Structure 1
Amino acid sequence: MSTHTSPVSPSIRLASVEVSKFRRLAQTRLDLDEATTIMVGANNSGKTSLLTAIRNFLDESPRFKAFDISLSQWPKLRELGRLWEALTEDPATDSSTRDKWDDQLRDFLATMPFVDLWFDAKEGAYNHVAPFITSLKWSGGPVGIRLRLEPASTIDELQSLAWRYREARAPVSKLKDGHAWPIDLLDYWLRQSNDLARRVVVYRLDPAKGPQGGATPYEVQALQPDTEPVDLKHLRRLIRVDFIAAQRGLGVEEDEARSESVGARPGLFTGQLLKFARQHLNVGTPGTRQPEELATAIAKAQADFDDTIYRALKPSMEDVEVLGYPGLYDPQEILFRTRIQTADLLAHGTAVQYRLDKKAVDELLPEHSIGLGYQNLQSLSFQLVSFRTARLNPSQGAPAPVHLVMLEEPEAHLHVQVQRILPQKAHGLICPKAAEHSNLRSQLLISTHSSHLAHADSFARLRYVRRLSKQGEGTMPSTEVVNLGDAFGNDTETQIFAERYFQVQHTDLLFADAAVFVEGTAERMLIPLFIERYFKKLSQRYVSFLDIGGSHAHRLQPLVERLGIPTVIITDLDPVQPTENEKGRTVKVAVHIEDQEDLECGNATLTSWHPKLAEFQAYGTPKPEDLQWASPNGVKVRFAWQLPVAEASNRWPSSFEDSLVLSNLIWFKALGKEIDPKTGKEKEHIGTLGRLISLVADHPDHAELLKALHKLLHGSFNKGDFAATIFEQLNANQPITCPAYIADALTWLQTHLTPTSGETM
């Protein structure tokens, strides 16, 4: 009789990583999803630094550099260097100064970067976390581990470092130019990087003081002087980390791959297969070329061997197909054609070949003949499968219960369709399939600049890496990570709206320096041209434009607050007038502003977010505080709506289109009097432009013109055609003026995106 055993769920996961004093990461916490976490953010926000920090501290062969130490700690290290430079004898020979060196060691270690790992562990994970538990009564819960870079961990080691630095500095300390190596302790480490490499020390942390059990933000706990380190091997048994760097060199191997010489460089996917075969299939490497008389035997052996390789790799190759390849027009089958006479059986450019048609026997193409997207996809997929296989390799001992795989910008050369499914499918490739491994946790951490990849999943998995400018004199720019899954609180309806809007629009808001919300198509087309022409500094910034009307922009308020980037919301007043319809019901009808009574603002963003003015006429003469909104944490938003136009006798338009016309009356009148050089008569303008020119010419009175414009815009007028027409005229360098209410808002944004002295964006 057989019994069914339900799969065992993973008993432990990596919940968060907090990086301190590493590059610009002063104190940056990253909360990880149980499966897949996607990091987004503008350039130079700190995404790469986060990945590098995790990799450096958890890799078996860390390689720290001097510039990995936070800029904020450099003055303290330079001061220590000056103290060491003044040494007159080896401090190891003078025991009377022991107390002084104890203080210096404390100050020295306080400058070093460190990473805190916080795990959520169930009671069943005791064997894995036992070396890091601080309580004798542990029954599950958070487990904290600190990894700190320690070029010197004891007084003796610090004295040795100090004397080595003093000896290197002494010959150049009196030189006037001050540029001879080493200038200071940081400069010393640039050449003597071995002092930093592989010097990671592990400590236990008190879970009661960790992020899972306390308030946010919380104070990073300080290690007590008598805290004993934990053997690094225990951490290696707890978590395995693999990393795939951004593919920035694809295609360079094509010329070399054309060579048929033994030393030809293999393609990207071939290299992955070679590494996989050597590590997991026990493929040998013959030492010399076989004698010529054995050619016949070699041919048969080669065919048999190719088939063996194919069958051995076939399960892994089937995993790769979950990302959507092969498609209808992609290579349909992968074959292997090894050359036994080579030093490495798979280490040549034609080891992997592709058959475009399964029925074709000899129509084979080498790897470099296939598109970069296909090469990158195959390589990326196979690396993920290789990581999984390496984790489960019996020769490496018991598999680590937690496996963290980091992907840096995997979207390179990948088609949009693949980017959309990559997060889910990639996580499946690193997860063990056998039921016996169901207790193992696999977590994926992706950094990306792709809106398609970022919006492929729920906001709950998005982490926005946000730059923080200097908070005061003597401070340095830093970084924080915002969990966008918390942005909308319990408002599930708004979160779903935002997720669907982003999936449809594929906006680059999550990667921008600033945001501009616009009302409709015309503003979306024309405002970027106005910026390019009239706001040169602003045009050099990464600004995201969102076409979302005033009825919905306010729904993104929580997201704007969390992103923390300067934002401009350009919207319409939407004046409405309560009117009784023929059935006796009171409805609000869109009207023009001129000579109207009982007007109300019909724009939900202005009435529910800001400025919420009680009287409609107050929108015509707003105060500075009416135009700008700030959140409690300092996020600034500038609102802009139609204001009376000075060029049109201070008449008050109610839409972008009539505001643009009133702001450019001189230009429209000049077009109406333009002479055609071929006929010598007034040039005839047709279409939308012609209708507007005629309207301006027929209504010299600005009040009447405004009424006529409102009637036209709410009739058969095509606003899309209007936008395209003005777009064409702007591209032709016509002197079209940006409406003042928009120009003022863009000036505000340009000012907020201009770095102050000593600050970088």
Structure 2
Amino acid sequence: MSEPWAKPHLAPIVSLSCIELSRFRRLAQTRVQIDKKATVLVGANNSGKTSILIAIRNFLAASQVFGAFDISLDQWPALRALGSEWEKLTEDPASAAGDVEKWKEQLATLLGSMPTLDLWFDAQPGSYNLVAPFITSLNWDGGAVGVRLRLEPASSVEDLQRLAWRYREARHPVKDFKKQAHAWPVDLIDYWLRHPADLGCILVYRLDPALGPLANPPAGAPQGLSPKAAAVDRTKLSKLLRVDFVAAQRGFGTEEAESRSSSGTHRVGLFSNQLLKYARQHLNIATTGHGHQPELIAAIAQAQEDLDARIKVALTPSIEHVKKLGYPTLHDPQEIHFRTRIQTGDLLDHSTAVQYRLDDAQADIYLPEYSIGLGYQNLQSLSYQLVSFRDSRLKPSEGSPAAVHLVLVEEPEAHLHVQVQRIFPQRASELISPTAPEHAHLSSQLVISTHASHLAHAENFDRLRYVRRIPSPAGAMPCSDVIDLATAFGTDKETRTFAERYFRVQHTDLLFADAAIFVEGAAERMLVPLFIERDFQKLDKRYISFLDLGGRHAHRLRPLVERLGIPTVVITDVDPVEVTKDANGKTVRKAAAIVDPKGLECGNDTLNGWHPKKKELHLLAEPAEADQTWSNGNGGRVRFAWQVPVPKNGPWPSSFEDSLILTNLDWFKAIGQETGKKPAAGEVALPKVIGPLRVVVDTVLAEPDPAALCKELHAMLREKFAKAEFATTMFERISMGDKFACPAYIADALAWLDKELAPSKTGPV
């Protein structure tokens, strides 16, 4: 066994591996794996990404920053019940003999409803002096170290009794009011809204690594804490972990007059604001020789001496006039002298302290910072904040630098150009990491929340954590959990590589959407959103990601769809094939029109391998609900849509285009009959029927028999038919208001998705 006080490694000796959040807002019970360099939180709006960052910041902040709304909604009934019990008190329980066991039960209920944050560190033997306050075994030789932070309105029966009496005193005068909505406090939650200080403080406890997420096998839920557990001095944690937070930049550019607030500080986000803060922390040094920048000290001293002399010359005449009034007196012969004290930070505290030059050829032309582009300003500001965090960490006011530095960045993509978004996680990680060899044992970790696909896809799936809204029935409290996408594909490296490359090339917004629709080709990608806008107004208001993957390849992303758990529609072709034998006895699968479905098979890999797994084509003609809908049992549901006979028992199309045509035969016939007609007075001239639309119209008019027409359309579409141009023409016609029906197999799938996303199923969004 190595000595626990061994010399530190050249690699980081402690790193944060995992956090567990409980009962904080909609994060009822959430585990987040933390990457050693950068962790990227992705997910739909209002899923809980920002709440994760805020929870970490609030638990580790130096001052109390919790409010009643930070407690998960599902804990409110138990807390309100406690308040109701306290309303019945007739005398101060602290001064009266009471049922101690009852108060202990109430204390357990109260603490069991409070938010907690568990920090799990991976510590090497050389870190013993850092983790000693938190280890639970005398035989510790490196490994997992667990720390729990818990919000505690009361930590003992005596504390609880005092809280109960304060609440009772506030509630007693209004408890009999008929209009409860106008009486404060309505309940214990309402009481805490006005008195957040009574939510108490954060206490720190040790956790048993054998019962934690880093054990083998990992624990399924956060471990319970004994009522007798002793709190640890919170200052010990500051030696182990430092947390800095960069909030989202939501301001917009403005004129220089608005670049300062009424209090005189610069607008958040300007580079000069970060520079000023840095200067005050690191450059405000006296001219006594203290500090590590002798050149700067000498320059300031000389400037201060020159300034003092110039001030004396400028003000001496006015002082001579003051002397005429008898000051200084004969008994006070001291002369007035001037001595300034220059603070370097103050030199930068004005609107034009930071300027930029257009080009080297115009050396005397400078523009103020607020004239720089927003993207450049924000990039500068973010960069300087990160550098400032690093330097503050390495030069603490006392003691040594914290072993682990966790920097939280909320939505850095605001005003950042796409090129910068792609490299931001890597560059930001470099900016917060110390470069000196003597600091190699320190760990620097980044956690980013984002809505930008370019930023998210710059990283591989190892660093992506998907924050998922858990579907809840009507009346249930909304909650979220976190999916580690590093494990989404298991050992299937081929599928994972395909997914990562597809996401980088397409920059799909799947990781931020409320729902997903996989489409077969360009025609569906263009027209399905138009049908949604026209026929499904509620669905049109949802954030839907369209993936032009080719329905037959949708199964490649099946592991990801299963893990995300968002409602998904896969619109694909039935791909009928005729199976024969060649002269050598080899099986040949050839695409065919659907004339006799009993002699054909489904050639679609997604329908064969994922769902409904019915290879004989005739079994797909009249699908039941179970054939069309798949579920993984964890809330994720997928609806599969493929072509069916039009109408029922009619001809069976095999692609989106011929299904669209057969569904709207009367429209195509009418277009053909109106060709060449001159518009009547006051009528708008109809668009000319040319290109692929002309080909379709001629085919429809030439073959009146629907079954034969279906075969003709299949042959036409397999030739050199311009599907993209046809889709564009149909898009134009539908946009102009032409009465054009959506194929039934797609309309049914969209109706299913509309129902899946109804508020009664998803909860507040």
Same fold (TM over 0.5): yes
Matching of residues 725-740 of structure 1 within 5 Å: 725-740=729-744
- Matched to 2:713, the amino acid is L
User: What is the Cα deviation at residue 54 of structure 1?
Assistant: 0.7
User: What is the Cα deviation at residue 363 of structure 1?
Assistant: 0.9
User: What is the Cα deviation at residue 293 of structure 1?
Assistant: 4.2
Which residue is equivalent to 1:309? none
Change (3 A) 1:685 1:736: same
Looking at structure 2, the residues matched to 617 and 55 of structure 1 have their Cα atoms a distance apart, in angstroms, of 59
Change (3 A) 1:114 1:385: same
Matching of residues 492-571 of structure 1 within 5 Å: 492-571=493-572
Residues 426-462 of structure 1: per-residue CA shift (max 9 Å, x gap): 1000000001100011110000001111111101110
* Larger CA deviation: 87-96 vs 231-240: 87-96
Looking at structure 1, the residues matched to 14 and 691 of structure 2 have their Cα atoms a distance apart, in angstroms, of 67
Which residue is equivalent to 2:751? 747
Which residue is equivalent to 1:331? none
- Matched to 1:503, the amino acid is R
Pair 1:31 & 2:29 matched? no
Residues 631 and 638 of structure 2 are in contact (CA less than 8 Å); yes or no, is this contact kept in structure 1? yes
- Matched to 2:747, the amino acid is A
User: What is the Cα deviation at residue 168 of structure 1?
Assistant: 1.7
Pair 1:188 & 2:191 matched? yes
Structure 1 vs Structure 2: percent identity of aligned residues? 59
Structure 2 counterpart SS, 1:494: helix
Structure 2 counterpart SS, 1:396: coil
Change (3 A) 1:263 1:154: closer
Residues 280 and 344 of structure 2 are in contact (CA less than 8 Å); yes or no, is this contact kept in structure 1? no
| Larger-gyration structure (1/2) | 2
| Unmatched 5+ stretches in structure 1 | 298-338
Looking at structure 2, the residues matched to 177 and 682 of structure 1 have their Cα atoms a distance apart, in angstroms, of 65
Which residue is equivalent to 1:637? 638
Looking at structure 1, the residues matched to 562 and 762 of structure 2 have their Cα atoms a distance apart, in angstroms, of 26
Looking at structure 1, the residues matched to 22 and 741 of structure 2 have their Cα atoms a distance apart, in angstroms, of 49
Which residue is equivalent to 1:314? none
- Matched to 2:693, the amino acid is L
Residues 416-435 of structure 1: per-residue CA shift (max 9 Å, x gap): 01001111111000000001
Residues 651 and 702 of structure 1 are in contact (CA less than 8 Å); yes or no, is this contact kept in structure 2? yes
Match of 1:230 among 229, 232, 236: 232
Change (3 A) 1:376 1:283: farther
Change (3 A) 1:698 1:80: same
Change (3 A) 1:717 1:62: same
Looking at structure 2, the residues matched to 711 and 354 of structure 1 have their Cα atoms a distance apart, in angstroms, of 65
Residues 262 and 342 of structure 1 are in contact (CA less than 8 Å); yes or no, is this contact kept in structure 2? no
- Matched to 2:173, the amino acid is P
Residues 7 and 435 of structure 1 are in contact (CA less than 8 Å); yes or no, is this contact kept in structure 2? no
Which residue is equivalent to 1:606? 607
Pair 1:660 & 2:660 matched? yes
* Larger CA deviation: 242-251 vs 354-363: 354-363
Which residue is equivalent to 2:321? none
User: What is the Cα deviation at residue 551 of structure 1?
Assistant: 3.5
Matching of residues 610-625 of structure 1 within 5 Å: 610-625=611-626
Looking at structure 2, the residues matched to 437 and 722 of structure 1 have their Cα atoms a distance apart, in angstroms, of 63
| Unmatched 5+ stretches in structure 2 | 1-6, 287-299, 315-340
Looking at structure 2, the residues matched to 627 and 687 of structure 1 have their Cα atoms a distance apart, in angstroms, of 36
Matching of residues 480-499 of structure 1 within 5 Å: 480-499=481-500
Residues 471 and 762 of structure 2 are in contact (CA less than 8 Å); yes or no, is this contact kept in structure 1? no
* Larger CA deviation: 547-556 vs 214-223: 214-223
Which residue is equivalent to 1:673? 673
Which residue is equivalent to 1:316? none
Structure 2 counterpart SS, 1:112: coil
Change (3 A) 1:64 1:488: same
Residues 260 and 266 of structure 2 are in contact (CA less than 8 Å); yes or no, is this contact kept in structure 1? no
User: What is the Cα deviation at residue 290 of structure 1?
Assistant: 6.3
Residues 546-579 of structure 1: per-residue CA shift (max 9 Å, x gap): 0111342111111111000111100011112235
Looking at structure 1, the residues matched to 272 and 412 of structure 2 have their Cα atoms a distance apart, in angstroms, of 19
Residues 177-227 of structure 1: per-residue CA shift (max 9 Å, x gap): 112221111111111112236x10000011111011154561322111211
- Matched to 1:16, the amino acid is C
Structure 1 counterpart SS, 2:497: helix
Pair 1:407 & 2:409 matched? yes
- Matched to 2:397, the amino acid is S
Structure 2 counterpart SS, 1:742: helix
Change (3 A) 1:758 1:439: closer
Which residue is equivalent to 1:627? 628
Residues 520 and 571 of structure 2 are in contact (CA less than 8 Å); yes or no, is this contact kept in structure 1? yes
- Matched to 1:700, the amino acid is P
Which residue is equivalent to 2:293? none
Pair 1:693 & 2:697 matched? yes
Per the normalisation by structure 1, the TM-score is 0.88
Looking at structure 1, the residues matched to 207 and 642 of structure 2 have their Cα atoms a distance apart, in angstroms, of 54
Residues 264 and 349 of structure 1 are in contact (CA less than 8 Å); yes or no, is this contact kept in structure 2? no
Match of 2:375 among 373, 376, 381: 373
User: What is the Cα deviation at residue 612 of structure 1?
Assistant: 1.5
Change (3 A) 1:716 1:47: same
Which residue is equivalent to 2:294? none
Matching of residues 270-669 of structure 1 within 5 Å: 270-282=272-284, 293-294=310-311, 344-470=346-472, 475-578=476-579, 586-595=587-596, 598-646=599-647, 650-669=650-669
Matching of residues 231-250 of structure 1 within 5 Å: 231-250=233-252
Residues 696-747 of structure 1: per-residue CA shift (max 9 Å, x gap): 1111111221122112111111111011111111111111100011111111
* Larger CA deviation: 74-83 vs 482-491: 74-83
Structure 2 counterpart SS, 1:223: coil
Looking at structure 1, the residues matched to 128 and 9 of structure 2 have their Cα atoms a distance apart, in angstroms, of 19
Change (3 A) 1:196 1:687: same
Across the aligned residues of Structure 1 and Structure 2, the Cα RMSD in angstroms comes to 2.9
Residues 277 and 345 of structure 2 are in contact (CA less than 8 Å); yes or no, is this contact kept in structure 1? no
Looking at structure 2, the residues matched to 683 and 719 of structure 1 have their Cα atoms a distance apart, in angstroms, of 19
Structure 1 counterpart SS, 2:364: coil
Looking at structure 2, the residues matched to 207 and 587 of structure 1 have their Cα atoms a distance apart, in angstroms, of 59
